[in-house]
């Protein structure tokens, strides 16, 4: 199983933006993304830092031209990992625990690399090398995805039109919301979730349990989440002087 980390990928050297990141434009169906102020979304981050930082760390992997894909996603991911470890020491999994794991859910198939996990928050890298799509799932959590490369199409419940999102856009999936989702080949993103994280596992693992029966992937997924929980427990007890 391939692994990802600063030791395996070439880092990007420019420093990321600091402070509150601006909102992000949202593209409409079959048209270039609208960079006007309306319709922008703000992205939260670990509570210890505040809102806007997911995009701040993603910016080095996004090209200035919104009509094209972002920079090489592996370079962008490497930079993101390095900077997150500087900003949140002790909360990002070490290189030896970073692993790309398949995800089968809602009829779609992608791959994730978990960076941080607790009972209430998670951060991961996600994407797909092929065209894929299906049901988003409903969660007791809010999910924010900032696109590094490729395109993402979303069809919201109760509407008759879909929307396309481009590099630099952030997709907000509210708790309890369901949508139809579609990724183009080569779409990669940074994902942040906040809420009751264990509740998301039922959807994330359902296809693996009852369709693909890929129990090795099931093991990899649960192992990654367990390592994230143990890392957070260690960080918590270290603050108590234990």
Residue pointed to by tokens 């979730």? 193
pLDDT > 60? residue 39: no
Nearest-angstrom CA–CA distance, 54 and 204: 22
3-state secondary structure the chain: CCCCCCCCCCCCCCCCCCCCCCCECEECCCCCEECCCCCCECCCCCCCCCCCHHHHHHHHHCCCCCCCCCCCHHHHHHHHHHHHHHHCCCCCCCHHHCCEEEEEECCEEEEEEEEEECCCEEEEEEEECCCEEEECCCCCEEEEEEEEECCEEEEECCCCCEEEECCCCEEEECCCCCEEEEECCCEEEEEEEEECCHHHHHHHHHHHHHHHCCHHHHHHHHHHHHHHHHHHHHHHHHHCCC
Give Cα 20 to chain centroid, integer Å: 19
Nearest-angstrom CA–CA distance, 216 and 36: 45
Specify the pLDDT at position 136. 97
| Residues 64-103 pLDDT 10s | 333 334 568 898 899 889 888 998 899 999 999 999 999 9
**Domains located in the chain, CATH noted:** 26-239 (2.60.120.10)
Specify the pLDDT at position 97. 97
pLDDT > 90? residue 30: no
Residue pointed to by tokens 């093991």? 219
Contact status, residue 108 vs residue 136, Cβ threshold 8 Å: no
More reliable by pLDDT, 164 or 69: 164
Taking the CA atoms of the chain, what radius of gyration do you get in angstroms?
A: 17
Crossing angle between the packed helical segments 215-239 and 198-207, to the nearest 10 degrees: 160
Give Cα 176 to chain centroid, integer Å: 18
Residue pointed to by tokens 């625990």? 97
Mean pLDDT value across residues 42-52: 43
Share of residues in the chain with pLDDT > 90 (%): 61
Specify the pLDDT at position 72. 84
Residue pointed to by tokens 């420019």? 14
Specify the pLDDT at position 218. 96
Q: Which residues partner with 10 through β-bridges?
A: none
């Amino acid at each position: 199983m391939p692994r990802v980390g600063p030791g395996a990928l070439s880092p990007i050297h420019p420093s990321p933006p600091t402070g509150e990141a601006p909102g992000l434009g949202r593209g409409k169906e079959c048209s270039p993304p609208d960079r006007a102020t309306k319709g922008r979304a703000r992205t939260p981050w670990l509570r210890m830092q505040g809102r806007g930082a997911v995009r701040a760390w993603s910016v080095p992997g996004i090209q200035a031209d919104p009509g094209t894909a972002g920079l090489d996603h592996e370079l962008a991911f490497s930079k993101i990992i390095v900077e997150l470890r500087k900003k949140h020491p002790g909360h990002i999994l070490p290189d030896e625990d970073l692993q790309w794991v398949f995800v089968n859910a809602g009829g779609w198939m992608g791959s994730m690399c978990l960076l941080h996990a607790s009972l209430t928050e998670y951060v991961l890298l996600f994407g797909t090398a092929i065209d894929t799509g299906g049901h988003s799932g409903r969660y007791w959590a809010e999910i924010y995805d900032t696109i590094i490369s490729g395109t993402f199409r979303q069809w919201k419940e109760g509407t008759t039109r879909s929307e396309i999102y481009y590099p630099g856009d952030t997709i907000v999936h509210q708790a309890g919301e369901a949508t139809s989702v579609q990724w183009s080949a080569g779409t990669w993103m940074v994902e942040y979730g906040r809420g009751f994280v264990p509740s998301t596992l039922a959807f994330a693992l359902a296809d693996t349990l009852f369709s693909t029966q890929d129990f090795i992937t099931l093991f990899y997924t649960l192992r990654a989440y367990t390592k994230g929980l143990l890392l957070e427990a260690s960080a918590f007890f270290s603050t108590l002087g234990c």
